[in-house]
Amino acid sequence: MITVKAHGAEIPALGFGTFRMPDAEVLDILPQALRLGFRHVDTAQIYKNEEAVGAAIQQSGIARDEVFLTTKVWVDRFGRGELEASVEESLRKLKTDHVDLLLLHWPGSPTPIAEAVEGLNKVRQAGKVRHIGVSNFNRHQMEEAVKASQAPIVTNQVEYHPYLDQTPVLDAAHRLGMSITAYYAMADGRVPKDPLLNDIGARHGKTAAQVTLRWLTQQLSVIALSKTSTASRLKENFEIFDFTLTEDEMAAIHGLAKADGRIVNPNGLAPAWDRAA
């Protein structure tokens, strides 16, 4: 598995996401994903499936130290003491003594960023998390988190797919030495139907989904989260590192971005998003 390096973290460039996956699906598909070769698993307190994720990792037969495990703290638990308690709860559910990456899930919290980042540093210093990061932050919030943190902020997990230009956030990440972790890569089902992505895929003997995951991971310091509840698609999602997109193909995919391409924008949680030039 190719890894992305950021401030000492080595994060597998392809992850398995569990958003909106009920326990039964997690217990069925995640052990298969790990046995196939996935080594990066993403969950969150708010997904309500951490217990299933922990059990699935145990059932997979893959050693815990071979799995890069990410979870996230919800916005109502960013305050002093609350963040630490949230992490303890996550560790119990995940059946582990540490997570590899802990993220602040959204910036829309009454707790100031500096206070939340202080909590991230405390649990890292206690050995309960190896690396810390943020999710759904705009570039100014990324900079604020970095300035407030003693430890490196290693990633910002954001919506990113061919229809959303994330250049400002990518540029900020490169400047700050951070990675970007892309979620919603399939753009809520638009990707598999896209004529351009299918045409590029046909040239490489790949699907539109594989092309998109490769487009993401072929970019500097970008990690892609894939997700499926269908066993037959696991292999498809995993087999993306045996081909390379040309510069023209990469540019053509970037050209699909639209001004209204954003899908995830929850009121009260989302920041003022950066706009591409």
Q: What is the pLDDT of residues 146-165, one digit of tens each?
A: 999 999 999 999 999 999 99
Provide CB contacts within 8 A for 195, sequence distance 6+.
none
Whether 56 maps to a domain, the answer reads: yes
Report how far apart, in Å, the C-alpha atoms of 135 and of each of 155, 158, 232 are: 8, 6, 30
Average pLDDT over residues 47-52: 98
Active site residue 47: yes
Contact 14, 213 (CB under 8 A): yes
Average pLDDT over residues 111-128: 98
β-strand 129-135 against 153-159: which pairing, if any? parallel
**Given a cut of 90, is residue 50 above it in pLDDT?**
yes
Whether 276 maps to a domain, the answer reads: no
Average pLDDT over residues 88-116: 98
Single out the catalytic residue among 47, 160, 183, 184.
Answer: 47
Whether 277 maps to a domain, the answer reads: no
Q: Give the count of domains, the chain.
A: 1
| DSSP states along 164-200 | S--HHHHHHHHHHT-EEEEE-TTGGGTGGG-HHHHHH
**Band of pLDDT at residue 90, cut at 50, 70 and 90:** very high
**Band of pLDDT at residue 1, cut at 50, 70 and 90:** confident
Whether 12 maps to a domain, the answer reads: yes
Over the chain, what is the mean pLDDT? 97
Q: What is the pLDDT of residues 207-246, one digit of tens each?
A: 999 999 999 999 999 999 999 999 989 999 999 999 999 9
Specify the pLDDT at position 276.
Answer: 87
Whether 165 maps to a domain, the answer reads: yes
Host domain of residue 121? 8-188+217-229
254 is in an annotated binding site: no
Whether 269 maps to a domain, the answer reads: no
Single out the residue of 210, 196, 208 nearest to residue 257, CA to CA. 196
Q: For residue 12, what is the domain's CATH number? A: 3.20.20.100
Whether 59 maps to a domain, the answer reads: yes
pTM assigned to the model: 0.98
pLDDT above 70 covers a percentage of the chain that reads: 100
Whether 92 maps to a domain, the answer reads: yes
